[in-house]
């Protein structure tokens, strides 16, 4: 692993998060810079006119953070990444890519010549049970757009990967039991099954933070800005506002909880005898008061808030400034932890 610092940057639909880490011993990193800012509206892909404003936003956050490295690992939006578990007969590692080349198109929703794809072997059974390979594919124009944004900002792009892969690296060690990441963003919720430190299954559902805000607005007559503030301040605390806020948001959380259970049940149906033992809640909404208890009650599994700071070396001022912000920065921290 290189001892040089590198940047992890997470360009979300609501905010851009950046951290700079330097290796600081076995499985430890020193936090040397961190910053966040509202994201430029409109998305990176879909309008080439957006690339320059996004690059300007990256330049601004680099300056504000004080990061000195220009080596960056960035996250691609999970909802635009196609992931599929492919069951294959057992074969040598150098034979897997060749075998996938002939069948990749049947597993991804875009033509193979317009996609960038990679794979990771997630299960091998040398006794004749075959193997499972996680195939991940994205559109070439998505990769090109993100690369252009970052390079125009003066950065050297050394890797792009999915948000769930970065999150699993940051907060789900290899010795954890079978776990699930639930990353509730602004527009979508990403669900990932983690086994032995590897992402082995993932899916994205379109219910997330903005749906909570809409439910609050409709129920309590608040504008979107007020709804967001009430959500962050009172959350699912039943003793606040006579429990009206928790009552307004519960149907949305129930939808997410049902998707969590559906994802777990599907994985277990393919792997009898296994079961999700822990859910790690990520994303800024993980900080909503009493959300952990509310979700745990609905899914019947222990829920913990993601804490990527466990393996970071931080001085007192950094600890104070970043207190409670772990779920918010988890993707960017996982990106900067990636070995190159």
pLDDT tens digit sequence for 34-43: 999 988 776 6
Architecture of the structural domain at 82-137? 2-Layer Sandwich (3.30)
Q: What band does 27 get if pLDDT is binned at 50, 70 and 90? A: confident
Residue range 305-319: mean pLDDT, rounded:
94
Query: Each residue of 42-72: pLDDT tens digit?
Result: 667 656 677 888 899 999 999 999 999 999 9
Confidence of residue 236 (pLDDT cuts 50, 70, 90): very high
Q: What is the DSSP letter of 314?
A: -
Answer yes or no: is pLDDT of 239 > 90: no
Angle at CA of residue 320, ends 224 and 303, nearest 5° = 60
Residue 36 near residue 15, CB atoms below 8 Å = yes
Sole residue written with tokens 């001085």: 315
Instruction: Give the pLDDT band (50/70/90) at residue 211.
Output: very high
What per-residue confidence (pLDDT) applies to 48?
66
Q: What stretches of the chain show up as alpha helix (H) in DSSP?
A: 51-65, 93-101, 140-152, 163-171, 209-220, 224-234, 244-270, 291-299, 316-322, 326-336
Phi-psi region of 43 (alpha: psi -120 to 50; beta: other; left: phi over 0): left
Split at pLDDT 50, 70, 90, the class of 17 is: very high
Residue 42: the pLDDT is: 65
Residue boundaries of the structural domains of the chain: 82-137
Contact (CB, 8 A) for 207 and 223: no
Mean pLDDT (whole number) for 164-185: 92
- 241 vs 20, higher pLDDT: 20
| Least confident segment among 127-136, 176-185, 286-295, 313-322 | 127-136
pLDDT at 202: 92
Residue from 337, 325, 339, 338 nearest 17 by CA: 325
- Chain segment 264-284, per-residue pLDDT in tens: 999 999 888 899 999 999 988
Please tell me whether the overall predicted TM-score, pTM, comes out greater than 0.85 for this model: yes
Among 158, 115, 162, 164, which residue's Cα sits nearest to residue 139?
115
Cβ-based neighbour number of residue 14 at 10 Å: 16
Question: What mean pLDDT comes out for the span 296-312?
Answer: 95
């Amino acid at each position: 692993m290189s001892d040089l610092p590198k940047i992890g940057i997470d360009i979300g639909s609501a905010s851009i998060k950046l951290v700079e880490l330097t290796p600081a011993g076995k499985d430890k990193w020193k936090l040397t810079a961190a910053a966040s800012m509202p994201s430029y509206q409109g998305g990176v892909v879909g309008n080439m006119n957006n690339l320059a404003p996004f690059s300007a936003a990256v330049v601004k956050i680099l300056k504000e953070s004080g990061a000195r490295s220009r080596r960056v690992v960035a996250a691609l939006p999970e909802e635009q990444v196609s992931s599929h578990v492919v069951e294959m007969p057992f074969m040598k590692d150098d034979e897997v890519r060749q075998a996938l080349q002939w069948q990749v198109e049947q597993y991804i929703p875009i033509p193979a010549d317009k996609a960038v794809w990679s794979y990771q072997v997630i299960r091998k059974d040398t006794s004749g049970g075959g193997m499972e390979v996680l195939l991940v594919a994205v559109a070439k124009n998505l990769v090109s757009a993100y690369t252009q944004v970052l390079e125009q900002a003066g950065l050297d792009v050394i890797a792009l990967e999915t948000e769930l892969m970065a999150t699993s690296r940051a907060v789900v060690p290899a010795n954890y039991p079978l776990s699930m990441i639930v990353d509730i963003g602004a527009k979508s919720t990403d669900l990932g099954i983690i086994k032995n430190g590897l992402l082995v299954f993932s899916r994205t559902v379109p219910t997330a933070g903005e749906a909570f805000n809409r439910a609050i607005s409709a129920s309590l007559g608040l504008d979107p800005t007020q709804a967001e503030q009430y959500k962050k301040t009172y959350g699912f605390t039943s003793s606040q506002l006579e429990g009206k806020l928790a009552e307004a948001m519960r149907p949305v959380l129930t939808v997410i909880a049902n998707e969590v259970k559906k994802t777990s049940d599907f994985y277990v149906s393919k792997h009898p005898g296994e079961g999700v033992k822990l859910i790690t809640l990520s994303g800024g909404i993980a900080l909503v008061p009493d959300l952990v208890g509310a979700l745990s009650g609905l899914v019947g599994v222990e829920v913990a808030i993601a804490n990527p700071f466990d393996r970071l070396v931080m001085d007192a001022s950094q600890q104070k400034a970043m207190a409670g912000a772990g779920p918010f920065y988890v993707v960017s921290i996982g990106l900067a932890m990636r070995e190159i």
